[in-house]
Structure 1
Amino acid sequence: MFYKDKNILNILFEAIPEGVIIVDENQIIVAANHPSEKMFGYKKGELTNNHLNCLIPKKFHVEHASHFQTFLNGNGSRQIDNHSNLTGVKKSNKKFPVEIGLNPFKIENKKYVLALIIDISARKENERRIDFINSELEKKVNQRTADLHNTITQLKVLNLNFKKEIKKRIAAENKLKESLKKEIELNELKSKFLTMVSHEFKTPLSGILTSSMLLNKYQLTEEQSKREKHIKTISNKAQYLNAILNDFISIEKLEANNINYKFTNFNLSTVINDVVYNANMLLKEGQHIKFPNNIDEFIVTQDEKYLKIALSNVLNNAIKYSPENSTITIEVTQNNSNIEFKISDNGIGIPENDQKFIFNRYFRAENVLNIPGTGIGLNIVKVHIENLGGNLSFNSKINEGSTFIISLPNKL
């Protein structure tokens, strides 16, 4: 049949740029166009009457025969599949990738299959190159990503170290600033201390020296009262200096943590009476101390010595900063766990702006700068009271007076 219309068939075959092969039901090639012959490396007409296996790798011959019969009996076409991996064999036995579209048809009750074949070697090579380029690119990306990750890690480490270094520098600067601040405060404290010591020692010593000189002038018996007056002045000034020295010794012991507190049981009335008795010698004209007389049954377990020191200091301050003809009041309350002392006066009071500094060592409120004092008594009292497990507090109003409260655990 194909030979009757040979001219028409040749024209059609040669007009198709892809390879075209027609096989019969026995897989015999009955027609092949020039592009297909060139594709497989055959001369013109050399493929005709050859078995289709000459174009298929040997290892697929058996499998292909089964697929061919199944396809032929199915009467369906198969479009070219870009994703199929088909291989053709050239006359030189060189294998190359192809894409094949199949279309079965009948002529005079005979079955044939038309195969449209495309050599995709160039495409596969391009794909291989693209895959290689992509692979190399992916490697470079991975390497760059790893390098970037490594750089980021190094930067994080550097940043962390930088932050640590900054933190250390800030800490060092803060420490230096704190040291400088303490140095400035210490210098100011030394200056205040020297000024205070100079004033507080100079005035009593001057009084002692003057009274000593005047004593020599009063030799007569009838001048005994004048002698006693100067002797009392000398005694009072000496006691004042002794008190200042005792305060300095107390500070040194406190700073060296060289104080051993001794807790004993004692009657509170004995302590109050001693404190009031000693304070009476300091009273101004018309001043008096009001204290409870119903505490004979109060038994306290505390350090008796330092309780006396604390009460005496606060009471003496009340006398010093209160006017003549005024009353200083001592109140005492006790329960199973605590004992509390309130010492109140109607004196000059503490300015509100100065109250937060009142327990600072060497600090003196602005309204007492012309009154003798060291500014260390309340600081010492507060430290002793806190060491004994208690608390020292106060409330005060300028020109109305102050109340100092000593609260201590009663170690029954």
Structure 2
Amino acid sequence: MSFSNQHIFNLLFEAIPEGAIIANDQQLIIASNSVAEQIFGYEKEELVNQHLNILVPLKYQSNHKTHFSNFLKNKTIQNINYELNLYGIAKNNKKFPLEISLNPFEIDKKLFVIALIIDITNRKEADKKIKNLNTKLEKTIKEKTAELKNTIKQLKEVNINLKREIKKRIEGEAKIKKALQKEQELNSLKTKFLSLVSHEFKTPLSGILTSSMLLDKYKLSNQQDKRDKHIETITQKVHYLNNILNDFLSIESIESSNVNYKFTTFNLSKIVNEVVYNANMLLKNGQKINISTDTNDYVLHQDEKILELILSYLLYNAIKYSLENTTIDIEIYQDSESTIFKFIDEGIGIPKNDQKFIFNRYFRAENVLNIQGTGIGLNIVKSHLENLGGSITFESIEHKGSIFIIKLPLNKKL
């Protein structure tokens, strides 16, 4: 075979970063660059005039001849993916995986093929390592899932042992038992529940388990303060977990239209005082709640417990999403038909792009993803208000605060 400008050809041929081999239509090697010689372990020009089979493992040689002939007939560029498990054989008889690209060309009416070859041994080993890591990861996930189930089982045992000492714990335990008895309802929520709040359970469950184990270590009478500290921790964690479960049960009741609203006539001040009293236990350093209205003369005909739930959600949100040393203002007033509540905070606000989704179930704004929550509270509030003939709107500026406005009829007609 002869080439014009042989010197230029040699320079270009050697500049190819892949291993390059040129063969004629008889599968005889007529040229190879230094990269190819290095890949297969041959000396310079040692491959010239050798048959291509010298580079193909014995078990693949019969198929290789057929594939080569078909390729010459088609005369098209062909990239052969490494996933096909192609192998070459080096001079020292070591077999290794490779990736190859075949390109046909003609010179002086003679047909040649240039093969570009890459040794993918390292890539194969990396793929194997990744596969092994994935296997280990799947195993770890299964183990962690089993640990979570075991932790939940231990939580039930802790609840039974402590329910005589903690009043609020008794309420939470009763609701959990009631939820467990409704197995059909719980199963319908299971998938969404686990995917959304499994991470919300891990931290409080760990705290409960740790405190319950430490309680056994403080048996002396002068260690009551330490016992009280751990009991308080358990109470807070159980209360948080109980609230999450209550949220999901509320959604199920609303969806299945099983909410039985009980309308009574009551003084609004009773509800407001109860909500604020409970919220005071959640206040951060320097936070305070300011009520600008005397509600002693305000009377409503509504569902008392649902209204307390709605007001609690909004006040707790204002506390949770506000910084220390800030004030939360509650304004309440009535007109001829409605009672209006305004919750005004100086919190982190809601990003503008997220505001249209804020009442969607499970939605959480991008600036609160690192704060505990399930993203269903406002959806529950909106659903209850609509069922009670009311409405909820809001105004918010990120980093400055939010105003949530509830409008509720004075008298809900049955």
TM-score, normalized by length of structure 1?
0.52
**Residue of structure 2 in register with 1:228 after alignment:** 228
> What is the CA-CA distance between 1:285 and the residue it aligns to?
1.5
**Residue of structure 2 in register with 1:388 after alignment:** 388
Residues 100-139 of structure 1: CA distance to partner in whole angstroms, max 9, x if unpaired? xxxxxxxxxxxxxxxxxxxxxxxxxxxxxxxxxxxxxxxx
Matches within 5 A, 1:251-400: 251-400=251-400
CA distance in 2, matches of 1:401, 1:223: 44
The letter of the residue matching 1:351 is P
Give unpaired runs (5+ residues) of structure 2: 1-188
Contact 2:253-2:259 at 8 Å conserved across structures: yes
The letter of the residue matching 1:389 is G
> What is the CA-CA distance between 1:203 and the residue it aligns to?
1.5
**Residue of structure 2 in register with 1:40 after alignment:** none
The letter of the residue matching 2:225 is S
Give 3-state SS (helix, strand or coil) of 1:360's partner. Answer: coil
Residues 119-170 of structure 1: CA distance to partner in whole angstroms, max 9, x if unpaired? xxxxxxxxxxxxxxxxxxxxxxxxxxxxxxxxxxxxxxxxxxxxxxxxxxxx
CA distance in 1, matches of 2:312, 2:397: 22
**Residue of structure 1 in register with 2:196 after alignment:** 196
Contact 2:345-2:402 at 8 Å conserved across structures: yes
Residues 288-344 of structure 1: CA distance to partner in whole angstroms, max 9, x if unpaired? 111135221111121111111100000001111111111111100101101100011
The letter of the residue matching 1:218 is Y
Give 3-state SS (helix, strand or coil) of 2:295's partner. Answer: coil
CA distance in 1, matches of 2:282, 2:364: 21
> What is the CA-CA distance between 1:282 and the residue it aligns to?
1.0
TM-score, normalized by length of structure 2?
0.52
Q: For residues 190 and 264 of structure 1, do their structure 2 counterparts lie closer, same or farther at Cα, with a shift above 3 Å needed? A: closer
Contact 1:395-1:403 at 8 Å conserved across structures: yes
CA distance in 2, matches of 1:245, 1:296: 33
CA distance in 1, matches of 2:374, 2:246: 12
CA distance in 2, matches of 1:206, 1:383: 33
- Does residue 218 of structure 1 match 2:218? yes
CA distance in 2, matches of 1:407, 1:245: 27
Residues 236-282 of structure 1: CA distance to partner in whole angstroms, max 9, x if unpaired? 00011111111111111001001122222111111100111111111
Contact 2:293-2:332 at 8 Å conserved across structures: no
Contact 1:396-1:403 at 8 Å conserved across structures: yes
Matches within 5 A, 1:48-197: 193-197=193-197
CA distance in 2, matches of 1:224, 1:190: 39
Give 3-state SS (helix, strand or coil) of 1:392's partner. Answer: strand
CA distance in 2, matches of 1:350, 1:262: 34
> What is the CA-CA distance between 1:219 and the residue it aligns to?
2.7
Q: For residues 345 and 353 of structure 1, do their structure 2 counterparts lie closer, same or farther at Cα, with a shift above 3 Å needed? A: same
The letter of the residue matching 2:248 is F
Give 3-state SS (helix, strand or coil) of 1:217's partner. Answer: coil
CA distance in 1, matches of 2:236, 2:200: 14
Give 3-state SS (helix, strand or coil) of 2:286's partner. Answer: coil
CA distance in 2, matches of 1:257, 1:328: 34
The letter of the residue matching 1:240 is Y
Give 1 or 2 for the bigger CA radius of gyration: 1
> What is the CA-CA distance between 1:220 and the residue it aligns to?
2.9
CA distance in 2, matches of 1:371, 1:384: 25
Moved more, 289-298 or 391-400: 289-298
Residues 333-381 of structure 1: CA distance to partner in whole angstroms, max 9, x if unpaired? 1011011000111111111111111111111111111111111111000
Give unpaired runs (5+ residues) of structure 1: 1-188
Give 3-state SS (helix, strand or coil) of 2:323's partner. Answer: coil
Contact 2:207-2:237 at 8 Å conserved across structures: yes
Residues 165-198 of structure 1: CA distance to partner in whole angstroms, max 9, x if unpaired? xxxxxxxxxxxxxxxxxxxxxxxx9987534321
